[in-house]
Amino acid sequence: MKCSLSSERLQNCSGHKLNITHPVSNMFEKYTCIFERNHHSDNCECNITVEGFVLTEIFNTTLLEGSNVLLYKTFVTSDFIKPKSPVLSVQKFENGNFNVTWDDQYEKHFFESLRINLTYGIKGGHKNVRKMIYDI
């Protein structure tokens, strides 16, 4: 999981951290995420690895600057997940049709709970077709 922090008054990332807890079975998993400057922007970012990441998990987060609490917020993964970009393969047939397939790069148990919103059209055209795909 990646967390980003940006603010007009943010001078540096040192001293900022994110304490995260989330219930797993009858226990709480705890993480501390230390922010570092992103090399490509002015944002501060931190990363944690969550085992068995699923759509319905609840994360309680506390943003700290030193010992000062700046924010407390609860997140549900299904509200904020940013999917990985799929690897596309395109096959063009002589009749002008295309066969587009993709590798979603997800483990099977996680992929089964995803819905795919596919939009396609002719490049430069004004009409696109949208289709929600639940089972592929």
What is the average per-residue pLDDT within 26-39? 88
* Mean residue pLDDT across the chain: 80
Q: Tens digits of per-residue pLDDT, 36-47?
A: 888 888 788 988
- pTM over cut 0.75: no
Q: What is the CATH number of domain 2-80?
A: 2.60.40.10
Q: Parse the chain into domains and list their residue ranges.
A: 2-80, 87-133
In order, the DSSP letters of the chain are -EEEE--TT---STTEEEEEEEEETTEEEEEEEE-EE-TTSS-EEEE---TT--TT-EEEEEEEETTEEEEEEEEEHHHH--PPPPEEEEEE-TTS-EEEEEE----HHHHTT--EEEEEE-TT-S-EEEEEES--
Q: Closest Cα to residue 130, out of 121, 122, 118?
A: 118
* pLDDT 10s digits, 83-118: 677 788 889 999 988 888 887 776 666 556 666 777
136 vs 123 pLDDT, higher one: 123
